[in-house]
Amino acid sequence: MFAYIARRLSAVLIILLGSSFFVYNLEAYAGDPLEELRLSNDPKKEQMILNLTRQLDLNTPPPLRYFKWLGGLLGGFTGNFDLGKTRTGESVAEQIGTAIPTTLRLVVAATFIAIFLGIAIGMITALRQYSRFDYSITFVSFLFFSLPIFWVAVLLKQFLAIEFNNWLAAAELSWQWVVGIGLASATLWAGVLASTRKKTAIVFASAFAVTAALLTFLGAINWFNNPGLGPIMIVGLGAGVAVGITVLSTGLGNKSALYGSLAMAVFGGIIYYPIQPLLNKDFSFLLLLALIGATIGVGLIAGWLAAKEDRSAVMRTTTLTAVIVAGFIFVDRLMQTWQPYTSNDYISYRPIPTVGQTNTLLQDELMANPDFWMSTLDALLHLVLPTVALCIISFAGYVRYTRGSLLEVLNQDYIRTARAKGLTERTVIMRHAFRNAMIPLTTLVAWDIAGLIGGAIITERVFGWIGMGTLFNKAITTFDLNLLMGVAILTSFLAIMANLFADLVYSALDPRIRVR
Amino acid sequence: MAKKNNIESTDSSAQGNENAIANKETEGLSQGQIVLRRFVRHRAAMAALFSLLAIILFVFTASGIHLGSEEKPISIPGWWHYSITDLPELQYESCPGGTVGCPTLNLVPFTENFGFGDHPFGQDDIGRDYFALVMRGAQQSILIMLIIGTLGGVIGTVVGAISGFYRGWIDTLLMRFTDLIITIPAIIIGAVIGFRVGNLGVMFLGLYLGLFAWTGLSRLVRGEFLSLREREFVDAARVAGASNRRIIFKHILPNAVGVIIVSVTLSMSGAILTETALSYLGFGVVAPDVSLGSLISLYQEAFSTRPWLFWYPGFFIISIALCINFIGDGLRDAFDPRQKRRITAKEKAAAREIKKAAV
C-alpha cells in the first residue's frame, strides 16, 4: 500500500514537472507580453518596455526562465516559497490566497446540493425505470447537459432575480400561479410515489390540494415579505423530517429510532424560545460551530438513550434529525432578518442581486455596526443565482451516473439473494444496492471537487465574482505568465491528487479492487 | 432452432418467455445488424438523429459554404439572400414597444405575416441580418464540433489501442503522456490556443482543440484492449498465425468499436459546449467571424430589451447538443449486449398465449 502510494506520488511529481514545463512554454511562445506597450503612443514607451522586460525577466529564453520559476516553487521545501510576481508587481501566492476562499464559497454549496439532489433523483429514476417519471427526468437531464452556463445565467438573472424582485414588491400570487405550481408539485410527487393507478391519483390530488392551500395561506398572511417558521412549524416540519429519515435509515418498524427522532423535533420546538437571545447580532462562526457540536451531541445522547438494540443505527437517525431541526432554527433566525434586510436603504426591496459577491455599500455599513445575521443573509442571497446555475449544470451528470450505476447493481445476483431471503425492500435498496452503487461515484465526486477550484471560470465572470477563474482569465488576456502558472500548477496538482485519492478510496470501498 | 424456441417458450418462468422473445428477434443476424436494429428501434435516438441531420442541412444550405482565405475564397452561395457582412437598413415599423430590428418570423398559419419575412430572426445593432449571423455561427460551431470529435476519436483510439495491445514500456510511456495532458485543465489549453490561433479561422481552432481532446477516449480504449487481448478468440487468431495488425484491426477493434462510437458521440456534445464557452470568453472564434457562443456573448446585455438576439443562438446550441446526447444514449443502449429490450405488455400476453397453447 505505502509502496503503491509512494510510486504514484513520484509519478505525480514527474507529470507535474512535465505539464508545467509544457504550459509555461506554450504560453510564453504563444504571445508577446510587451505587445500592448509596443503599440502604445506613450512618450516613455521605451523606458516602460525596458522596465517590464527586466521585471518579467524577458531576456532569458522561456525554457530557462521556467527553471528559475521552478526554483521559486521548490523553494517551498526550504521556506523560500516564491511563485513570482504578477505584471503589476503583486505576489502571485497572495493573489491566489485571496481568490481561493471566494471560489470555494461559490462552488462548495452548489456541488453538495447537486450531488445530493442528483443522487436522490437518480435513485428514484432507477427504481422507477421506464416510468413516465424516468422518461421525463431523462429528458430534463439531457436538456441540462446541453445548456451552456452563460446562457442559463442570463435567464436566471432575468427571471429569478429581476422578475422575482418585481413580484416581491406586491407579493401576490395570482390563481393561475397557484394552480400552476400546485400542478407541478402534484406531478412531481405522483411521479415519485407512483405505484397503482388509484394510489397515484390519490397522491396527485392530495399533493395538489396541499400545495395550493399552502401557497394561498402563505400569500394571505404576507409570508413572502415577512417570512418565518416559529416553534410550531419547526415541530411540524421536524416531525416530517424525523419520519422521512427514519424510513430511509432504519425503517418505521424500529420504534425506538422513530420516537427518538420525533423527540428531537419536539426538543427543537421547546428550545426555540430559550435559544433566541443567544442568536443575537454578535453571533459568530465559532459559536455556530459550538452549537453544531452541541446539536450532534444531543442527537447522539438521545439515540443512545432511546435505543434498546442496534444502537448505532438509532443514534445515526436521531443525530441526522437533530441537525436538520437545528438547521430549521437557523433558517428561522435568518428569515427574521429578512424584513430589516430588504427594507434597508441599500437593498430597497430588491433582495436577489444579479452580480457581485456582497453588497459593498451594505458591507460598509455593517463594518461600523456589525450584524452577523445581516452579513450572512447578504452573502447567502448573493450565492443564490450562481448556485442555482452551477447546480443545473452539474446535477444532470449525477442523475445519469447514479441511475446507471444503481440499475447495474440491481441486476446483480446478490440483490436477488437479498430479496429471496426475505429482507424488506428498504434494506435491499439502502443497504445492499445503494452502498455498492455509490462506489463508482467516488471517482466522479473526487474529480468534480478538484476541478471546481479552478473550474468556475465562466460562472465567476457572468456573476462578477473575483476568484480563481477571474485570476486565470486575467492571466491569459494580459499575458501574465507567473499568474497563469500559479493557477495552473495548483489546479493540475489538485486534479492529480484527486485521481490518486479516488483510486485509494475506491480500493478501500471495494475489496475486489486491489492496488498494486 | 425452431425446436429450441419451442422448448424455451414452454419454460414456465417469465424470464424464459422474455428470453424467447429476445432470442427470436436476433436469430440469424450479424452483430452489426443487431446493433443497427436496436438503434433504429430507439425512438428518441432516431428522432434526434433526423433532427440533427435536418438542422445541419438547413444551416449549411442557408448560408452556403465559405472556406479558404480572403484572397482566394472558396464559396458556395446559400439560399438566404443576406450574408453576415451585408448591412441592410434597420427595420422598426412593425416592432412592438419602440424596439428596432425585431424578428419577422411568424409561424402561426393563416395570419397576415405568416412566413419568414425579410429578417426572420431580426437584426442586430448595426442592422446585420440576424438569421444570417446565426446560420453562420451554427455552421462554425458544428464544424468545430465535428473536427474535434473526429480528431479526438482517431488519436484517442490509436493511442489507446497501441498502449493496450503492446503493454510494457510503450504503455507506460503513452499513459504517462496521457496523464500529462489530462492534468492541464481543458479550459487552459482551449484558452491559450484559442486566444492565439482563434483568428486563424475555425479550422485551425478545431484542429488544435482536437489535438488535446483525446485523453478520456484513449484510457477507455486502452482498458478495452487490455481485457480483449486476453480473450480466447485472440489466442486462437494468434495460433492460426495472424499478424499483430490483423489481430488489432480484425479481431479486437470490431469488439471495441461500440465504446469508441459512444464516447466520440458524447464527446461531440461536450465539444460544442467547449467551443461556445471559449467563444463566449473571447478565446474562440473572434470577430468578424461569428459562432453561437460569441453571438450570445455579444448580445447578452440586450436580453431585457431585444430578447431574440439571445434566444436564437441559444436555441441552436441546445438543440444540437440535445440531439447528440440522445443519439449517444441510443447508441450506448444499442451496443450494450446486456441491454434487454423492454418487453411490452402485449408481447408478454402473446408469449403467455404461446405457452398456453403448448401446454
Alpha helices in A171-254 (DSSP H): 175-193, 197-220, 230-249
- d(CA A105, CA A107) in angstroms, rounded, equals 6
Mean pLDDT over A20-42 rounds to 78
Q: Is A348 left (phi over 0), alpha (psi -120 to 50) or beta?
A: left
* Chain A contact present for B211, CB below 8 A: no
Is the domain of A21 the same as that of A101?
yes
- If asked whether residues A21 and A141 sit together in one domain, one would say yes
A328 or B119, which is more confident? A328
For residue B143, which of B190, B80, B204 has the smallest C-alpha distance?
B204
**Residue A410 lies inside a defined structural domain of this protein:** yes
Give the residue from B42, B183, B291, B325 with the most A CB atoms within 10 Å of its CB, the best one to mutate.
B183
Confidence of residue A47 (pLDDT cuts 50, 70, 90): confident
Contacts of A19 in chain B (CB under 8 A): 180-181, 183-184
pLDDT digits (tens, 9 = 90+) for A350-405: 888 888 888 888 888 888 888 889 888 999 999 999 999 999 988 888 998 899 89
Q: Are residues A107 and A55 in the same domain?
A: no
Residue A201 inside a domain? The answer is: no
Instruction: Answer whether residue A409 shows pLDDT above 70.
Output: yes
Interchain proximity A11–B176, CB inside 8 Å = yes
Contact call for residues B295 and B133 (beta carbons, < 8 A): yes
Q: How far is CA A112 from the centre of its chain?
A: 4
- Whether residues A74 and A129 share a domain: the answer is no
Asked if B229 and B172 count as a contact pair (C-beta separation under 8 A), the reply is no
Predicted pLDDT at A356: 84
How many angstroms from the chain centroid is the CA of residue A86? 31
Confidence (pLDDT) at B12: 44
Looking at the fold, whether A70 and A14 belong to one and the same domain comes out as no
B63-66 contacts at long range (C-beta below 8 A, 24 or more positions apart) = B63/B132, B63/B135, B63/B136, B63/B139, B65/B139
Question: In this complex, do B269 and A145 lie within 8 Å of one another by their Cβ atoms?
Answer: yes
Q: Do B185 and A495 count as a contact with CB atoms less than 8 A apart?
A: yes
Q: What are phi and psi of B358, to 5 degrees?
A: -70, -40
The C-alpha atoms of residue A191 and residue A136 are separated, in whole angstroms, by 10
Tell whether A2 and A117 lie within a shared domain: yes
Is some CB atom of chain B closer than 8 A to the CB atom of A23?
A: yes
Q: Cβ of B183 and A158 within 8 Å? A: no
User: Last residue of a domain, which of A44, A60, A82?
Assistant: A82
User: Does pLDDT of B9 surpass 50?
Assistant: no
What pLDDT sits at residue A273?
92
Beta pairing class for B65-68 and B73-76: antiparallel
Task: For residues A452 and A512, state if they share a domain.
Answer: yes
Quote the pLDDT of residue B4: 41
Helix (H, G, I), strand (E, B) or coil at A353: coil
Within a domain: A113: yes
Residue ranges of domains in chain B, CATH in brackets: 2-40+343-358 (no CATH), 47-87+137-335 (1.10.3720.10)
CA distance B11 to B23: 14
- Using the predicted structure, report yes or no on whether residue B6 has a pLDDT greater than 50: no
Task: Flag if B180 and A15 touch (Cβ within 8 Å).
Answer: yes
Q: Do B325 and A145 touch (CB under 8 A)?
A: yes
Across the A:B interface, residue pairs with CB atoms under 8 Å apart total 111
pLDDT given for residue A480 in this prediction: 84
pLDDT for B273 equals: 87
Q: How far apart are CA A210 and CA B120, in angstroms?
A: 45
Sign, CA dihedral B333-B338-B344-B345, equals negative
How many angstroms away from the CA of A154 is the closest CA of chain B? 7
Residue at which a domain ends, from A82, A116, A141: A82
CB A129 within 8 A of CB A188: no
pLDDT of residue B196: 65
Same domain, A71 and A135: no
Distance from CA of A443 to the nearest CA of B (A): 14
Q: What is the pLDDT of residue B8?
A: 41
Say whether A491 and B185 touch across the interface (CB within 8 A): yes
Q: Smallest Cβ distance to B321: which of A26, A146, A150?
A: A146
What does each C-alpha distance from B222 to A379, B238, B259 come to in angstroms? 47, 20, 11
DSSP state of B252: I
Chain B, residues 272-291, CB within 8 A of chain A, namely: 273, 276-277, 280-283
Q: A85 by DSSP, 3-state: which?
A: strand
Instruction: Please tell me whether residues A78 and A9 are part of one structural domain.
Output: no
When pLDDT is cut at 50, 70 and 90, the band that residue B13 belongs to is: very low
pLDDT in tens, A90-133: 888 888 888 888 888 888 888 899 999 999 999 999 998 888 88
pLDDT at A516 (0 to 100): 59
Q: Grid coordinates in use for A228?
A: 418565518
- For residue B2, pLDDT over 50 is answered with no
Q: Rounded distance, CA A302 to CA B192, Å?
A: 57
Average pLDDT, chain A: 87
Looking at CA atoms only, how far is residue A497 from chain B in angstroms? 10
Domain that holds residue A129: 1-31+88-166+370-516
The reported pLDDT for the residue numbered A184 is 93
Q: Which helix (H) or strand (E) segment is A381 a member of? A: helix A372-410
Q: Which pLDDT does position A453 carry in this prediction?
A: 66
CA angle B267, B268, B270 (to 5 degrees): 65
Q: Is A497 at the interface with chain B, CB within 8 A?
A: no
In this structure, the answer to whether residues A26 and A36 fall within a common structural domain is: no
Residue B342 neighbours by CB distance under 10 Å: 9
Task: Please write the tens of the pLDDT for every residue from A218-242.
Answer: 888 888 888 888 889 999 999 999 9
Candidate from A477-486, B109-118, B172-181 with smallest mean pLDDT:
B109-118
Q: What is the mean pLDDT of residues A302-327?
A: 92
Top pLDDT among A57 and A424 is at: A424
Residue A208 or residue A442, greater confidence: A208
CATH number at residue A113: 1.10.3720.10
Q: Which helix (H) or strand (E) holds B65?
A: strand B65-68
Mean pLDDT of A76-81: 72
Q: What are all long-range contacts of B172-176, with beta carbons under 8 Å and residues at least 24 apart?
A: B174/B218, B175/B219, B175/B222, B176/A11, B176/A14, B176/A15
Residue of A nearest to B197 (CA): A30
Spatial distance between the Cα atoms of A413 and A416, rounded to a whole number of angstroms: 5
CA distance A196 to chain B (A): 16
Quick check: B320 pLDDT over 90? yes
Whole-number pLDDT of residue B113: 67
pLDDT for position B67: 67
Interchain contact B184–A (C-beta under 8 A): yes
- List strand residue ranges (DSSP E) for A384-503, in order: none
Long-range interactions of B162-166: CB distance < 8 A, separation 24+: B163/B218, B163/B222, B163/B225, B164/B221, B164/B222, B164/B223, B164/B224, B164/B225, B164/B226, B164/B229, B165/B225, B165/B229, B165/B244, B165/B247, B165/B248, B165/B252
Which residues of B206-271 form beta strands (DSSP E)?
Answer: none
pLDDT score, position B10: 41
Q: Which of A46, A66, A82 is the last residue of a domain?
A: A82
Contact B297 A150 (CB under 8 A): yes
What percentage of chain A has pLDDT greater than the value 90? Answer: 29
Residue A112 lies in a domain: yes
Ramachandran category for residue A82: left, alpha or beta (phi over 0 → left; psi -120 to 50 → alpha): beta
- Please tell me if residue A9 touches chain B, with a CB cutoff of 8 Å: no
* Residue A466 and residue A387 in one domain: yes
Q: How far is the C-alpha of A478 from the C-alpha of A469, rounded, in Å?
A: 14
pLDDT digits (tens, 9 = 90+) for A174-193: 888 889 999 999 988 888 88
Q: Assign A327 a pLDDT band (cuts: 50, 70, 90).
A: very high
Specify the length of chain B in residues.
359
Whether residue A236 lies inside any domain: the answer is no
Contact A33, A56 (CB under 8 A): yes
Is it the case that residue A281 has pLDDT exceeding 90? no
Q: Is residue A71 part of a domain?
A: yes
Instruction: Report the number of distinct structural domains present in chain A.
Output: 2
The stretch B21-49 carries a mean pLDDT of 82
Q: Is A257 inside any structural domain? A: no
pLDDT at A204 over 70: yes
Same domain, A37 and A105: no
Q: Is residue A178 part of a domain?
A: no
Distance from CA of B316 to the nearest CA of A (A): 11
- Rounded distance between C-alpha atoms, residue B254 and residue B261, angstroms: 11
